[in-house]
Amino acid sequence: MPLIEIKDLEKIYTTDGVKTPALEGVSLSIEPGEFLAIMGPSGSGKSTLLHILGFLDDYTKGEYRLDGKIIDNYSKEEIAQIRNQKMGFIFQSFNLLPRATVFENIKLPLIYSQTPEKKWVNLVIEAISSVGLSHRLDYEASRLSGGEKQRVAIARALVNNPQVIFADEPTGNLDSKSGQIIMDIIQKLSIDQKRTVILVTHETYTSEYAERIITLKDGRMNSDRKVTERHIAGDKFHK
């Protein structure tokens, strides 16, 4: 059974009585453990689609099933719980607290979870280790490089052991070397940990870390293809 399934999904924004369609009739399914990249020009609807799939925005029309259940049948409390416990988010702008330590930033999702506090330290240590940044645990976020900040953001997304990782232009603010490190880490989450990864990117090279690429144009599905020559992450993290 697909983990995520959408059918004829539409999103319309209304401003001062003017309706602007962002998504029109988008249908797709995503299997557990699949690494999917969403591409398209600016304004194509790719970030809107990711936000809807991640319960960060509502859709106007259509159907969205998660684990076989139509999300319209979830209560607001259930949606909040799923977002906190089953979904991890990585954004282009990192969204770290600059004066908080790496440890404190990664711990944040646990504060709003049902995870017992006695487990928090081990979970944070495990998450930061998975991105090769254990030596920065006590650093303030403001002291980190851009690549290191994004690795902390990935660790924060992992700390609740989510089922799905949503990554919205995660390399957009990074140089090419740092971007490659980040994509290596994200791909390993899919391959080694069998997590589902949904990536929004405008970079062809970045998208080819995924197994499958869909492209959007003017809010509609333009193509859906398997990646035949996939970039595969190296065996070691760079420091």
Which tens digits make up the pLDDT trace of 173-194? 899 899 999 999 999 989 888 9
Helices (H), the chain: 46-53, 76-86, 102-111, 120-130, 146-158, 176-191, 204-207
**Global pTM value:** 0.92
Per residue in 61-109, pLDDT (tens digit) is 999 999 999 998 888 888 988 998 899 999 988 999 999 999 999 999 9
170 in Cβ contact with 38 (< 8 Å): no
CA distance 123 to 157: 12
CA distance 45 to 162: 25
The CATH-assigned architecture of domain 30-57+76-226 is 3-Layer(aba) Sandwich (3.40)
pLDDT at 234: 63
Owner of token pair 């600059």: 98
pLDDT at 114: 85
2 in Cβ contact with 59 (< 8 Å): no
pLDDT at 50: 96
Give me the average pLDDT of each 10-residue run along the chain (239 residues): 95 91 96 96 93 94 94 89 91 92 95 90 94 94 94 94 94 90 92 93 92 96 93 59
Structural domain boundaries in the chain? 30-57+76-226
pLDDT at 235: 46
Element containing residue 13 per DSSP (H, E): strand 4-15
% helix / strand / coil in the chain, to the nearest 5?
Answer: 35, 30, 35
Nearest alpha-carbon partner for 106 in 92, 93, 95 = 95
pLDDT at 131: 93
Residues 6+ apart with CB under 8 A from 89: 54, 56, 157, 165, 166, 167, 168
pLDDT at 232: 85
